[in-house]
Amino acid sequence: MNVLLIQGANLDRLGTRQTEIYGTTSAAQLDEMLLEHARNKGVNLTIFYTNDEQEAIRRIDEAEREHCQAIMMNPGGFTDTAHDLKTRLQTLDIPYFEVHLSNVEARKIESLLAEHATGIVMGFGIDSYFAGLEGVLRHLQRRRNER
């Protein structure tokens, strides 16, 4: 099973940027934990960081060509600004799941991308990623069982 995690704008600065909101776990530490968790679940997880919306769109295009089963994304700084990314997600042929470290609703940040998400996890700090990945895996398993 292949899952792509896109880490959007500013997430490369985890652990150093606004630690009171996003925590002190660095991007490298989070990657290591997620990759180990995915390996233990038998999942090939690819993690892609970008601060460029067009790069995120290109990576989504590649994921579809590579027959990736799902995309999970923390849009970060793209959450409320990424109109081109929103348009791309409208035509996505694989499930898209959104994760956020903080509760963006409580922070009055409206996600432009949420309407295209199969599921959203937010507000659990780095645990949002693990809950999100579990949700992705359960969703894919249900789909496989329905066939």
Q: Which residues contact 3 (CB under 8 A, 6 or more apart)?
A: 38, 43, 44, 45, 46, 68, 69, 70, 71, 72, 133, 136
Residues annotated as catalytic are: 22, 100
Closest CA to 101 of 5, 6, 14: 14
Helix (H) or strand (E) holding 74: strand 70-76
Q: How many residues does the chain have?
A: 147
Q: Is 89 exposed, middle or buried (0-12, 13-18, 19+ CB in 10 A)?
A: buried
Find the radius of gyration of the CA atoms of the chain. 14
